[in-house]
Chains A and B, each alone.
Chain A
Amino acid sequence: MSTKPHFPSSAGLSRRQLLARSGMGFGALALQSMLEAEASNPLAPKKPHLEPRVKSVIYLFMHGGVSHVDTFDPKPALRERAGQTVPASFAEGLKTSRIDFRKAIVQPSPFEFKRWGKSGIEVSTLFPHTMKHIDDLALIRSCHGDAFDHAPALYLRNSGSQFPGRPSIGSWVSYGLGTENQNLPSFIVMTEGALKSGPQAYAAGFLPAVYQGTVFRGGDHPVLDLASPAGLPDAAQRATLDFIGEVDKLHLRTRPADSDLEARIAAYELAYRMQSTAPDAVDLAKESDATRTLYGIGEPETDDFGKKCLLARRLVERGVRFIQLYSGTHLGSDWDGAHDDLTGSHLRMAVKSDKPVAGLLTDLKARGLLDSTLVVWGSEFGRTPLAEGKNGRDHHPYAFSTWMTGGGIRGGQVIGATDEFGMRAVEDPKTVHDVNATILRLLGLDHTKLTYFYLSREQRLTDVHGENEFTSKLI
């Protein structure tokens, strides 16, 4: 499952694996120690293929499915045609989880829309704080996919495949670039609880397990089992660790030249160090009141997501490569409440994340971090422009919106468009592969070159797709 936090012990590859991997034989031993420091750590920083725009990514994932026609994609036609079905051509071939596109009636948005910022982009009033940043955001209105249930759609957005088992984008990025802080995971996931997809949404799939997303929980001990056993004083923990180290060294004496054993000895020391460094990274008390207020910390609605956003900034500062924040959980409320309560669910969920996200953007910018950090906002799909019940919308993967900012992305622009009802992406459509290829490109990775040999071929995050990568439009 989830909590496979893997930190780069000096450990990932053993010496013999290293030698094998680098294809060195007996002539190359001189190079060994020199290369080992770098190559034996699978998370050592690696050079990107191309000039990178950003070093880190914060991926804000709105769990459950955000309605595009109630947020970023205004459709006046929905009001004009309210209560009627859409023309047959718009519904043809579309399927979703509960409603029938041919029979369901058009439902106008209950939310008000207005033009924001200098760019005057029209967006609903659900995110008043975040929209103050509209001139920094590139809005993509033409995202589309084909998975209309949560779990497959979550897998698709994260790994490029509806079926679980493939590496998620955070894992690919960690594999491709390594990370700059060896005392923290490279790929960190923060959730409010379980996802509808389970942890496979941030799994490493066929990549080595060290690249898997590590779940940071709330509280002082973000990683499971980080705290010493309850009631055990630090001196006692240290004494037992000393004992382990001492006996392990006696064991190693009769087994020289085994770097697996050496690596595990080092892993224990790292584990002990992490017991103090990780709590420090998550210690939000070190932040000023002004900063905490900026993120909405202390206000009941925004406290939780605010803390996550602030933590994301602290992690970016510490060199963590890829951070994913999920707003909403399978076990509590999420955007999927829109099935029978569009208004309520979207109001509730928007409030939870709006101020924290806006605070994050403000803070990153003020600290100069936005130049080197890509922020992506997205969801697993949109919601049907047609009604489910009286005040609901069903899952809609055929058109939805995403925005990106940071790393010199030109804000205040809209890429792509949907048809007049928001049923399909019709102009400049972007698949998950196009979006993921773009994220990789901004990090300096060529999505066609970031490959891993598995099941008889060089696998890619974007499989054989991603041809509509759109970095040049963003910059």
Chain B
Amino acid sequence: MGATVKLLSAFVTSAFLAPLFAAPTGLADRAIAILEANCGACHAAAAMSGLNLTTRALALQGGSKGPALAPGNAAASLLYKAVRHNGAVKMPPGRKLSEGDTETLREWIDAGAEWPSAQTKAAESKWWSFHKPVRPTVPPVDGAHTAVDAFVIRALRAQSLTPAPEADRATLIRRAYYDLHGLPPTASQVSAFVNDKSPTAFENLVETLLASPRYGEKWGRFWLDLVRYADTAGFEADPYTADAWRYRDYVIDSFNRDKPYDRFVKEQLAGDEIYPDDVNAHVGTGYYCIGPNRDINPEQAEVNREEVLMDWVDTTGAAFLGLTMGCARCHDHKFDPIPKRDYYRMQAVFTPMVKTRVALSFLPGLNWDTMQNRNEVKMQEMADRIEATQLRCKNSLTEAKLARLDAETRTAVETESARRTPRQEQLFRAVRNQIGVGQNEIRACMSPGETAGLAEVEKELVGMALGQKPKPYACSVTDVSREAPRTYMPLRGSAVGDVNGELVNAGFPGVLGGADAPAPPAEAKTTHRRKALAEWLANADHPLTARVMVNRVWQQHFGHGLAQLASDFGSRGQLPSHPELLDWLATEFVASGWSLKALHRTIMNTAVYRRGSGVSREVIARDPANQWLARFSRRRLNAEEIRDSVLQASGALNLEMGGRPVVPPQSKEELYNLTRNARDAWIVTGDATQHTRRTIYIISKRTFRMPMMDVFDLPESMVSCSRRDASTTAPQSLTLLNGSFATTESRRLGETLAREASDDSTLISSAWRGVLGRDPSAEEARAARTLLERQTKNLGSRAAAAAELSRGLFNLNEFLYVD
């Protein structure tokens, strides 16, 4: 998100925090609202002509044309003259403010041009996103066939921007495929769509794509980013999180079923309390299990607990509320009206919670436990039998090694560890690596009888391993009891277990209308605090839940949200570019029964989604970030899309769904930064056909990412990630040119091409169709032919040359970007 955040921060201005929708009461509030709405785009942080209107001091300082204000004298103020268009400077460019607004500004300047204080605003909590969305009337706009287009076109006209024409069919189908599946269409899918004469061809395409299970794999990944999913817990030991993947599969399945978003929220936050009889809802609470977790060490249990609570509050705040909670942990939030007490009221929701496991169904669970217990008994017995079978050899081999030591060392070795003198300990350490006896030595020494005995045990072990299946359990949560441990608001930043602090009740941010969580019913076994949280959040009247989610979906489709900081709807966030559209979508989303698939339809079946990405330099210059949506923003594929697309093109993609994480082989160089021994930390999946599964099923470790995924900006899974980086770097080129994945798949495709195509022009056209979904142009075919000739000479075989052609195609901009 880095560069992006920086880019956006240029728009964020501390003084333009005034309300957008709430009717401002005070004169200053109204004046600032007018400035913000009409001048903010250029005269905030952007400071065009040096003028920044975000604070009184800056406005007085003025820009290249002098001070903007003469407090007490509107007539002498440059700002007032500019909005009246009666001087050299006419602002805003190309249009005039209404009489009413102009008059408000005059009054305000004459009254001294004071800015309202930030505290006043916070106290009044008028920031737009803290009010529940109200469905706006769709404006009547010529040429707009959908509500979405009406809002967008109106804004474009206000900016005097001309939208780009509709993209061609081939571009549209590729865009839709990547947006809904994260995979490209095949060449035949492209030509079928291009030749589809139906007036509803695009709508039909969207329906087909939404109905495919590939949809859940693409959008599930989007959700997993938000909830900082990983299969391991991070830190020094980076242990596997038991059954994390059950939650991953739950997420994919939820998207595929179009589970209503309010239900999805409730299941993850409190599935155990709200839907106690629905196992699937318990699996949803795996949301709490998959976070980072510091190594468990009794000395740091308290620190660990504090961090886990912090992770739950911060992630829940970011993912579900779209709010930054973290700052309030240490002090009253400077910019959001979320006081420290509210942070700890939220934390109190989670203090009674503990992780547990839930049987996916009763009988298999019981059987699995029974088998585990039996296997444990057998394992212990077998260990004894192995030891007995090998005892003779072990002793004789050890004796032979000890016999080579001098007497003093031998005594040191044979002395019990606790009784060794320092000298003996030193002697022991010096030889301890030489006196061990390994399995290979022992086996070489064993008699046929002993070997046969061992083989019996081995046979039993193999039998046990064969029966091993993933356990029919998932990680879930519950509360310690109906009574919660107390939560204190620490006096200092994060004093762990500071009982001197103020006792707080569980509850939700006051500025959002959140009350204390009610006491649980008498018969409850848990505190029902998470239930209260979930029901408060998953509510049509909640100011943030629907808005935040529709904004995220919009961001995934267009590259940026209507509100730019998708997980920061607080008042240091930003005003939305199209506030009414955002609210219309939010209310529409709720009215559709919180259907995400309906939301995709609403967004995609519009003119704005289907626009071409090419516009003039002038349009780009006037709206560089494309916030007014005159065009479609070209985007780079993300790490998963690149890997999955290469696999699809090479013919290796295995579309099997779900199950425990797959670990593909990596070279020693690629595993260079693995923090533990690969034997334990990178246990390669035995079945090679699994290695080419979709990337969402590849193991996600917190301390190690596959280098190829890493260079293409796969997030770290430590905190909620609302937006991927899309950097452009030389190491990305190195990876796709020289890395083992790219070269393996190029070779695979090259061999197929060389085998199946009898002549070069067939080969070239199959390569183009396979990788780019279209036929090559004459110029491209010429370039490919030259390459094949050169590489056949360089490498001596047609298959090797075809592999080079494939490698080239995987590195093309056309392959790596979506128009």
A29 and B621: CB pair below 8 A?
yes
Interface status of B673 (Cβ within 8 A of chain A): yes
Q: How close is A211's CB to chain B, nearest CB, in angstroms?
A: 8
Q: A204-B2, A243-B784, A456-B327 are in contact. Are A225 and B675 (CB under 8 A)?
A: no
Interface status of A233 (Cβ within 8 A of chain B): yes
- Return the chain A residue nearest B678 by Cβ: A331
The total of chain B residues at the interface (CB under 8 A) is: 107
A1 and B673: CB pair below 8 A?
yes
Q: A236-B804, A267-B732 are in contact. Are A95 and B238 (CB under 8 A)?
A: no
- Return the chain B residue nearest A454 by Cβ: B5
Report which of A191, A236, A260, A275 forms a contact with B791, defined as CB distance below 8 A.
Answer: A236
Q: A239-B794, A243-B808, A271-B734 are in contact. Are A200 and B2 (CB under 8 A)?
A: no
Please name all residues of chain A whose beta carbon is closer than 8 Å to the beta carbon of B327 when the two chains form the complex: 455-457
B672 and A2: CB pair below 8 A?
yes
Q: Tell me the B727-741 residues at the A interface (CB within 8 Å).
A: 727-735, 737-739
Please name all residues of chain B whose beta carbon is closer than 8 Å to the beta carbon of A251 when the two chains form the complex: 812-814
Interface centre among B295, B674, B727, B795 (most CB of A within 10 A): B727
- Return the chain A residue nearest B43 by Cβ: A23
Please name all residues of chain A whose beta carbon is closer than 8 Å to the beta carbon of B711 when the two chains form the complex: 3-5
Q: How close is B612's CB to chain A, nearest CB, in angstroms?
A: 10
> Complex: how many Å from CA A206 to CA B703?
16
> Complex: how many Å from CA A452 to CA B675?
30
Report which of B336, B703, B729, B743 forms a contact with A199, defined as CB distance below 8 A.
Answer: B703
Please name all residues of chain A whose beta carbon is closer than 8 Å to the beta carbon of B47 when the two chains form the complex: 23
Interface centre among B614, B622, B626, B674 (most CB of A within 10 A): B674
Interface status of A21 (Cβ within 8 A of chain B): yes
> Complex: how many Å from CA A204 to CA B813?
26
The 8 A CB mask of A211-227 against B (1 = contact, 0 = none) is: 10011010000011111
A240 and B734: CB pair below 8 A?
no
Q: How close is B97's CB to chain A, nearest CB, in angstroms?
A: 19
Q: A217-B669, A247-B808, A457-B572 are in contact. Are A263 and B2 (CB under 8 A)?
A: no
Interface status of A330 (Cβ within 8 A of chain B): yes
Interface status of A152 (Cβ within 8 A of chain B): yes
Q: How close is A205's CB to chain B, nearest CB, in angstroms?
A: 8
Report which of B3, B238, B570 forms a contact with A17, defined as CB distance below 8 A.
Answer: B3
B624 and A16: CB pair below 8 A?
yes
Interface status of B634 (Cβ within 8 A of chain A): yes
Q: Please count the residue pairs between chain A and chain B whose beta carbons lie under 8 angstroms apart in the complex.
A: 321
Q: How close is B624's CB to chain A, nearest CB, in angstroms?
A: 4
Please name all residues of chain A whose beta carbon is closer than 8 Å to the beta carbon of B718 when the two chains form the complex: 163-165, 200
> Complex: how many Å from CA A233 to CA B795?
8
> Complex: how many Å from CA A142 to CA B367?
59
Interface status of A87 (Cβ within 8 A of chain B): no
Report which of B7, B326, B622, B786 forms a contact with A455, defined as CB distance below 8 A.
Answer: B326
Please name all residues of chain B whose beta carbon is closer than 8 Å to the beta carbon of A27 when the two chains form the complex: 48
> Complex: how many Å from CA A258 to CA B728?
13
Please name all residues of chain A whose beta carbon is closer than 8 Å to the beta carbon of B805 when the two chains form the complex: 243
> Complex: how many Å from CA A98 to CA B429?
22
Q: How close is B133's CB to chain A, nearest CB, in angstroms?
A: 22
Q: A3-B710, A4-B731, A198-B238 are in contact. Are A244 and B808 (CB under 8 A)?
A: yes
Interface status of B234 (Cβ within 8 A of chain A): yes
Q: A165-B718, A198-B704, A455-B568 are in contact. Are A248 and B335 (CB under 8 A)?
A: no
Interface status of A209 (Cβ within 8 A of chain B): yes
Please name all residues of chain A whose beta carbon is closer than 8 Å to the beta carbon of B737 when the two chains form the complex: 225, 228-229, 237, 240-241, 268, 271
Please name all residues of chain A whose beta carbon is closer than 8 Å to the beta carbon of B568 when the two chains form the complex: 455-456
The 8 A CB mask of B308-333 against A (1 = contact, 0 = none) is: 00000000000000001011000001
User: Which of A7-15, A45-53, A435-443 sits within the interface?
Assistant: A7-15
Q: Tell me the B214-243 residues at the A interface (CB within 8 Å).
A: 234-236, 238
A456 and B324: CB pair below 8 A?
yes
Interface size class of A (residues with CB under 8 A): 35 or more
B673 and A194: CB pair below 8 A?
yes
> Complex: how many Å from CA A67 to CA B817?
52
Please name all residues of chain A whose beta carbon is closer than 8 Å to the beta carbon of B783 when the two chains form the complex: 243, 246-247, 250
B622 and A26: CB pair below 8 A?
yes
Please name all residues of chain A whose beta carbon is closer than 8 Å to the beta carbon of B336 when the two chains form the complex: 456
> Complex: how many Å from CA A233 to CA B794?
7
A225 and B731: CB pair below 8 A?
yes
B634 and A229: CB pair below 8 A?
no
Q: How close is A100's CB to chain B, nearest CB, in angstroms?
A: 9
The 8 A CB mask of A67-97 against B (1 = contact, 0 = none) is: 0000000000000000000000000000111
Q: How close is A77's CB to chain B, nearest CB, in angstroms?
A: 22
Q: A229-B738, A260-B728, A274-B734 are in contact. Are A198 and B673 (CB under 8 A)?
A: yes
Interface centre among A17, A150, A226, A271 (most CB of B within 10 A): A271
A209 and B727: CB pair below 8 A?
yes
Q: Tell me the B148-190 residues at the A interface (CB within 8 Å).
A: none
- Return the chain B residue nearest A189 by Cβ: B673
B812 and A20: CB pair below 8 A?
no
> Complex: how many Å from CA A260 to CA B620?
13
> Complex: how many Å from CA A255 to CA B716?
33
B299 and A164: CB pair below 8 A?
no
Interface status of A264 (Cβ within 8 A of chain B): yes
Q: A2-B710, A225-B735, A244-B812 are in contact. Are A203 and B791 (CB under 8 A)?
A: no
Interface status of B811 (Cβ within 8 A of chain A): yes
Interface status of B618 (Cβ within 8 A of chain A): yes
Please name all residues of chain B whose beta carbon is closer than 8 Å to the beta carbon of A244 when the two chains form the complex: 808, 811-812
Q: A228-B738, A264-B813 are in contact. Are A274 and B730 (CB under 8 A)?
A: yes
Q: Tell me the B600-637 residues at the A interface (CB within 8 Å).
A: 613-614, 616-618, 620-622, 624-626, 634, 636
Please name all residues of chain B whose beta carbon is closer than 8 Å to the beta carbon of A271 when the two chains form the complex: 730-731, 733-734, 737
Q: A195-B675, A239-B787, A243-B787 are in contact. Are A456 and B42 (CB under 8 A)?
A: no
Please name all residues of chain A whose beta carbon is closer than 8 Å to the beta carbon of B282 when the two chains form the complex: none
B613 and A255: CB pair below 8 A?
yes
- Return the chain B residue nearest A19 by Cβ: B624
> Complex: how many Å from CA A274 to CA B2?
25
> Complex: how many Å from CA A90 to CA B783?
76
- Return the chain B residue nearest A230 by Cβ: B743
Q: Tell me the A21-76 residues at the B interface (CB within 8 Å).
A: 21, 23-27, 29, 32, 42
Interface status of B507 (Cβ within 8 A of chain A): no
The 8 A CB mask of B780-794 against A (1 = contact, 0 = none) is: 100110110011001
Please name all residues of chain A whose beta carbon is closer than 8 Å to the beta carbon of B738 when the two chains form the complex: 225-229
A223 and B731: CB pair below 8 A?
yes
Q: How close is B170's CB to chain A, nearest CB, in angstroms?
A: 12
B729 and A9: CB pair below 8 A?
yes
Interface status of B144 (Cβ within 8 A of chain A): no
Interface status of B118 (Cβ within 8 A of chain A): no
B636 and A260: CB pair below 8 A?
yes
Please name all residues of chain A whose beta carbon is closer than 8 Å to the beta carbon of B388 when the two chains form the complex: none
- Return the chain B residue nearest A329 by Cβ: B675
Interface centre among A11, A251, A263, A264 (most CB of B within 10 A): A264
Interface status of B759 (Cβ within 8 A of chain A): no
Q: How close is B365's CB to chain A, nearest CB, in angstroms?
A: 34
B730 and A7: CB pair below 8 A?
yes
Report which of A236, A263, A454 forms a contact with B728, defined as CB distance below 8 A.
Answer: A263
Interface status of B6 (Cβ within 8 A of chain A): yes
Interface status of B442 (Cβ within 8 A of chain A): no
Q: A203-B716, A264-B728 are in contact. List 19 more A-B contacts (CB 8 A).
A: A1-B707, A3-B672, A4-B711, A12-B728, A151-B236, A164-B292, A194-B672, A200-B703, A206-B1, A208-B727, A209-B725, A225-B737, A239-B794, A240-B804, A255-B614, A256-B614, A268-B733, A452-B6, A453-B5
27 contacts between A and B (CB under 8 A): A1-B704, A4-B731, A16-B625, A18-B624, A19-B624, A23-B47, A29-B621, A150-B236, A163-B307, A191-B673, A209-B727, A217-B672, A223-B731, A223-B734, A225-B738, A236-B794, A237-B737, A244-B812, A248-B813, A261-B817, A271-B731, A331-B677, A390-B422, A391-B425, A455-B326, A456-B333, A456-B568
In order of increasing CB-CB distance, the 7 nearest A-B pairs are A23-B46, A198-B703, A208-B2, A16-B624, A271-B733, A453-B9, A2-B673
